[in-house]
Structure 1
Amino acid sequence: MFYLCQTLKRNLVTSNNTMMKMNLRNFFFVLITWITFGSCKKDIDKYEDDPMVYFYVQQANSTVLVSSIAYSFATRSVTLAQDTIYVGVKIIGLAAPTERKFGAEAIIDANSATAGTDYKILTGTVKANQLMGRLPVVVYRTADLKTITKQLKIRLKDENDFKAGVIESNLFTLNWNDALIKPTNWDSVVGGLLGYFGTYSRVKYQFIIDTIALSAFPVQGSSAYSPTLITNQQMLEYARQLKLALAQYNSTHTTPLTDEFGVAVTFP
């Protein structure tokens, strides 16, 4: 009988200890969940009351984010005196049922363009029910752009409906001139123009623009299909047209088309 009582006592103590441990685990689980939920709710409330915005610009035909844009008036009509570059942004927080505004300012340094003469930063907008927005920057076609490239560094600021968001994505650079600028995807591994047009040169690029009447070639690459991207089949057709046009040019000129390096222009 003594042995049986001792056994029951030990089992009871063990059971009580186990229940206490389980209760403690459950208590801490509930506590952590409550703290986490409360913290998340505070963050959500904060972003609802204090929304933020940061630059969000993807490289053509890819999901890679970039921190600069290159623009050239050389691919536009000679009568175009100014143009607007739109820089994409993304918000931190929730979409709103009304259009909202945000602001940006220039970072002045030795390489800066001159406000009013070279550029004008307009107010950015995020349309109703959207998480993405655009910052319009007007750039002017001045005579010196034929020989130099203007640069404008901008940063988001606390203004209107948004505060500046992610520090690492709060800065952006615009470069523009009136000479041809090599497309950023010319040498890209995916969606690159090298395989269709060969080695880059300004003379070749100008010949492409004059022949096809296009200056940008966002190739489909490996990304999902989009009507804004050019398919591989269409790029091959462009390459064929360029070969024919180059052969016709060379047949009607004493000297074959030669680039700025003194090399005859060719296409693969």
Structure 2
Amino acid sequence: MHQSKFLIFIISCFLFSCTKEHTYPFPEERNAINIWLGSGTVVEDSFTHNFAYTITGRDSVMFNYRLSGFPLKHDTQFELQAVSGDTNRVYYTFGKYTIKARQYEGRFPIYIDKPAGYTEFTNSTGKIVFKLKESTDFLEGAEELSDLTVIFKNAVSKPDNWDVATSPYFTMSKYFGTYSNVKYAFIIQTTGMANFKIYYTVAKDPVLADNTITATQAAYFQNLCKAALLAYKNKYGPLMDENNSEVVFP
């Protein structure tokens, strides 16, 4: 008799626990995604994309992401959206943003296309703000890491590191001399690169940040520009800049 009552008590407790678990489930948490522009952990308020530095075709703006919350058990995608700005003046495309299982941070591109004859932002500055498109999987991250502001220009301008650079970086003037808009446009057209940094290293195969070259590569670019300028001069005469001075390289 006592044994039967004990079994009934155990079964009742089991049924009660099952009912309780079914009635009051724990809510499933959603992860958040922090997004920002910059290199590594450095957060930049905005990034300037200058169409004047781009050969006709496709370029990209890279952004960083970091997952905040529980590790993912399977591959999961997230999306961006443009929330304000000159969206009708820029040909932009989002990539396929997939966070792999057990992965929590990385970098992805926003693609920017420049059609032939593109003249937007030659006399003005544009802007688009991109944000995470919230979903059943992901919420926006911290307020200061929730949007990507991209500034758009379409004119040549002097890089910040032309005359000033902090070690172990070199100035661009060390290899290319006095700045002018015409000279800089010539460098871009000759090398296919713009707004790059010059890093001193003795490593054989250094790992460099985006748009960074070694001093050896800078010397190569210097000679490349000298040869291209000589070919130009032989064909058209001296290349004159906006100050009516002849363009020369050291």
TM-score scaled by length of structure 1: 0.61
- The reply on whether 1:151 has 2:127 as its aligned counterpart is yes
1:175 is matched with 151
| 3-state SS of 2:213 partner | coil
State the AA in 1 paired with 2:181: R
2:80 is matched with 104
Q: Which of 151, 165, 173 is equivalent to 1:194?
A: 173
Deviation at 1:152, TM superposition (A): 0.5
Deviation at 1:200, TM superposition (A): 3.6
| 3-state SS of 1:230 partner | strand
State the AA in 1 paired with 2:68: I
Q: Please list every run of 5 or more consecutive structure 1 residues that lacks an aligned counterpart in the other structure.
A: 1-47
| 3-state SS of 1:262 partner | coil
Question: Conserved in 1, the CA contact under 8 Å of 2:54 and 2:114?
Answer: no
Rounded to whole Å, the distance in 1 between the matches of 2:132 and 2:202 is 30
Change (3 A) 1:185 1:54: farther
Q: Which of 49, 57, 64 is equivalent to 2:37?
A: 57
CA deviations 1:132-155 (Å, max 9, x no partner) are 244543445364426244310223
State the AA in 2 paired with 1:264: E
Question: Conserved in 2, the CA contact under 8 Å of 1:104 and 1:157?
Answer: yes
Runs of 4+ in 1 over 6 A off after TM superposition: none
CA deviations 1:107-127 (Å, max 9, x no partner) are 43xxx2135864455664323
Question: Conserved in 2, the CA contact under 8 Å of 1:72 and 1:181?
Answer: no
1:137 is matched with 110
Rounded to whole Å, the distance in 1 between the matches of 2:224 and 2:60 is 31
Question: What percent identity do the matched residue pairs reach?
Answer: 29
Rounded to whole Å, the distance in 2 between the matches of 1:144 and 1:245 is 26
Rounded to whole Å, the distance in 1 between the matches of 2:50 and 2:185 is 12
TM-score scaled by length of structure 2: 0.65
1:12 is matched with none
**Greater strand share, 1 or 2?**
2
Larger radius of gyration: 1
Deviation at 1:128, TM superposition (A): 3.2
**Greater helix share, 1 or 2?**
1
Rounded to whole Å, the distance in 1 between the matches of 2:99 and 2:160 is 27
Question: Conserved in 2, the CA contact under 8 Å of 1:153 and 1:172?
Answer: yes
Question: Conserved in 2, the CA contact under 8 Å of 1:125 and 1:135?
Answer: no
Question: Conserved in 1, the CA contact under 8 Å of 2:36 and 2:148?
Answer: no
Rounded to whole Å, the distance in 2 between the matches of 1:232 and 1:185 is 14
Rounded to whole Å, the distance in 1 between the matches of 2:141 and 2:78 is 11
Change (3 A) 1:262 1:153: farther
Q: CA RMSD in A?
A: 3.7
State the AA in 2 paired with 1:126: I
Aligned length in residues:
213
2:49 is matched with 71
Question: Conserved in 2, the CA contact under 8 Å of 1:113 and 1:119?
Answer: no
